Structure 1
Amino acid sequence: MTERPYFNDAQSRRRFLVTAGTAGAVGLAGCSDVLPGGNGNGNGEDPPVGQIGSGREGRSPGGVSMEEMPDLEGELTVYSGRGEFLVGELVEYIESLYDDFTLNIRYGGSTDLVNQIINEGEGTPADVFYSVNSGSLGALASEGRTQPLPDEVLDFVREEFHTDEWVGTSGRARTVPFNTNALSEGDLPDDIMEYPDVDADLGWAPSYGSCQAFVTAMRLLEGEEATKQWLEGVLDAGITSYPDEFVACQAIADGEIDAAFTNHYYIQRVLDGSPDAPIATSFTEGDAGAMFNVAGAAVTDAASDADLASNFVRHLLSGEAQDYFARTTFEYPLIPGVEPIGDLPTIDELDVPDLDLTQLSDLEPTIDLMREAGVNI
């Protein structure tokens, strides 16, 4: 991903979004203005409790509408590493648009589903793999179990958010959420490598896939020795572990810790339930702490109807679907014309590192390094 410097003075370089009462002022009324209601049960990397919000009602999504996309006809099986609680409403809506279209969804963890597709071989029923992260997409592609997507699908998003074999459907930025009662703007550095020396009670979720991808990015950008020193440093400073990043953000809002390392949308989800919670979002600059990852989809090499499969993926990039991700899961939309929720900076305004997202699938060295540094995962 190309680095895009945006901030141009000492205060604005690190863009703090003190969003209590503004960015989080969203209700729980559902999103019936675009999609019908109804939620399922969460699983995998997206915990089911306190995770869904309605965003802002009355938004008019840009982009290409589903009405302008090819009709879906036939039967399709999707292996989804995204939890039903987060995307079930969307995929059910897509299925409901077409009388002659049947969608079979199998939910599970992204890594588990990659292994399942590989083990099932050419006989896998999976036509589409829908992943919570680019690492799993890259892992499946590296096994030769995906096929190229057509340009009319890939061209919806910028080149750093796709390869020939998979396309990102929504994005997440790494952030440092902080408690506004405990810390002020000047207390947090804009360099992630300085955090072991910060005078603050920190938290993280080291067993969580997004955290491990963050450490992987650090390993790739800073080297193994520097990353090991960083890990040892935050452990020596007494960092608190949580089961997932939403719980870590809730701990910030509750005053248990001062700051943490999480994806951006968990802050928005805390604020969605408690608009006055003392939590805000900070960003580092051009390093692993500012990494931008994507959820995305690929068509498997065993797809019985590759055109149908790729056209379903195209629907995930429609204006309606992208607005759903913004309003309902608080993720970053990836197409022009649909803005994120929560008064967040745009993707162009984020100072992200120059990092090939496909390299994030190389988790084994990261796990080994974390354990060697003493991290309990």
Structure 2
Amino acid sequence: MDHSTRDGIDDDRTGLSRARDAVGDRRSFLQAVGASAGILGLAGCSGGGTDGETTSETTTDGGSSTSTSTSTVPEPKTYAEDELFHMDEWRGDGPQVGERPTEYTGLSVLDLPNLRGEITVYLGGGEGGLYEDAMQRIQNLYRDFTVYIRTASSSQLANTIIEEANAGQSPADVFWAIDAGSVGVVAENGATVTLPDHVTQSVADTYHPTDEWVGIMGRARSIPFNTNEFDADGIPDKVAAFPDDPRFEDEMGWAPTYGAFQAFITAMRELNGREATKQWLEAMQDHGVRKYGNEFQVANAVASGELSAGFSNHYYSRLVYEERPDAPLELAFTNSDAGALVNCSGAQVIKNSADPETAANFIHHLLSIELQEFLGTRGFGYPLLSSVPPVGNLPTIDQLNPPELDLSKLANVEPTLDLLREVGAL
């Protein structure tokens, strides 16, 4: 959006704000803003699911409305699509989006308390700019609300927050990290405050094992397989079965240098112990598993027939479909083991925030129906609001069977790296 267009939108918002003050109906006001000012007209981004390594600090300009107390937050309810806030403008429009539900259960941004004031968000990763775009869109709803964003890798920002909190004050109000391990470490070091129940209540306990953080979007481990070779019923439901199955000898791929794979092995180590994990890694190598640089390459090799199956996060197959919609590629999911891990991005309010109520309300906006639809249909992540289905013909988040594991344990990756080096996978 160019500067002249933005100035015109701000002028429109000023007039609409005066109209809202006269009418006093927030729903009518936001619908009018959306229709008249085009506040959701920013371009969306698709993310690759990697944790960013560059460090920068950006400031964006504010939107409209006034603040109300979070004590007025209503209970989740079921909405028809036309009762939500311009759902078609939040939603991605790629070929995989397909038909979406006609009803959603949760809370619309129309019914959340208004955001007012300023907050600073430390953003770890960000799905190729998608998360920053989401924050810009939230900000554009409220003229008197501004988000300041500092970006770096999740691990770097987690360490920074802990150091700042130990020194007595962090500039951060919110930490939004690409992985649960990073927010878990910050919580374990006493650098957060408890989130209100109304913020976390729509998310399964697995994705907020304590109320010191809450999951925003999920990433499910999966088995991409070539449909010319197998159907879903032919894929084992435990990763432990693959080294002993002759059908997969010299036919599988993995990406051991990739963070998502290392989280998978960390989960296995936490669940099964180091020795059992070592035996599985060695057995897979003896079975001829092939090494790739990242998990998109694994999924693409499966689609090309170079492999029959592999190990990857679910969304890499969605990215293959973006380029090759007729690819003979589907996903299977294992059951209650490390192969069924669902990691997630997570958000938390930082201790000594100047405005913890606004910070918590901001996180609540990330869990609104509209934002979950935006993130899920544009970045291919798993919405953690169960009424918002993932893109593609996939089970919803509450139909998956992840293991019982405290996701904060995934931050303990160093022993995993040592193990991968020991067995020669790295």
1:46, distance to aligned residue in structure 2 (A) = 5.4
Partners of 1:308 and 1:151 lie apart in 2 by 15
Q: TM-score, normalized by length of structure 2?
A: 0.74
**SS at the partner of 1:102?**
strand
In structure 2, what is the equivalent of residue 45 of structure 1? 50
In structure 2, what is the equivalent of residue 192 of structure 1? 239
Q: Is the 8 A contact 1:53 1:269 kept in 2?
A: no
Partners of 1:40 and 1:342 lie apart in 2 by 18
Q: Is the 8 A contact 2:184 2:408 kept in 1?
A: yes
Question: RMSD between aligned alpha carbons?
Answer: 2.5
In structure 2, what is the equivalent of residue 172 of structure 1? 219
> Which residue identity is paired with 2:238?
D
Counterparts in 2 of 1:126-275, with a 5 A limit?
126-162=172-208, 163-185=210-232, 187-197=234-244, 198-275=248-325
**SS at the partner of 2:42?**
coil
- Over the matched positions of the two proteins, sequence identity in percent amounts to 46
Counterparts in 2 of 1:94-133, with a 5 A limit?
94-121=138-165, 122-133=168-179
Counterparts in 2 of 1:312-323, with a 5 A limit?
312-323=362-373
In structure 2, what is the equivalent of residue 80 of structure 1? 123
Partners of 1:43 and 1:302 lie apart in 2 by 33
Q: What are the superposed Cα offsets for residues 76-118 of structure 1, whole Å, 9 maximum, x if unpaired?
A: 1111122342222211100100101111112222112112222
Aligned length: 341
In structure 2, what is the equivalent of residue 308 of structure 1? 358
Is 2:87 aligned against 1:56? no
Is 2:49 aligned against 1:36? no
Partners of 1:253 and 1:215 lie apart in 2 by 24
1:128, distance to aligned residue in structure 2 (A) = 0.8
Partners of 1:150 and 1:167 lie apart in 2 by 11
In structure 2, what is the equivalent of residue 11 of structure 1? none
1:39, distance to aligned residue in structure 2 (A) = 4.7
Is 2:137 aligned against 1:93? yes
1:361, distance to aligned residue in structure 2 (A) = 2.1
Q: Which has the higher contact order (CA 8 A, sep 6+)?
A: 1
Q: Is the 8 A contact 2:337 2:403 kept in 1?
A: yes
Partners of 1:329 and 1:61 lie apart in 2 by 21
Structure 2 unaligned spans of 5+: 1-37, 53-91
1:44, distance to aligned residue in structure 2 (A) = 7.5
Quick check: which one's helix share is greater? 2
Is 2:387 aligned against 1:337? yes
Q: What are the superposed Cα offsets for residues 30-85 of structure 1, whole Å, 9 maximum, x if unpaired?
A: xxx994332579688258xxxx9732376556221111111111111111122342
1:78–1:84 Cα change, 3 Å:
farther
**SS at the partner of 1:281?**
strand
Partners of 1:366 and 1:135 lie apart in 2 by 14
Structure 1 unaligned spans of 5+: 1-32
Partners of 1:297 and 1:350 lie apart in 2 by 22
In structure 2, what is the equivalent of residue 4 of structure 1? none
1:252, distance to aligned residue in structure 2 (A) = 1.9
1:256–1:132 Cα change, 3 Å:
same
Q: Is the 8 A contact 2:174 2:347 kept in 1?
A: yes
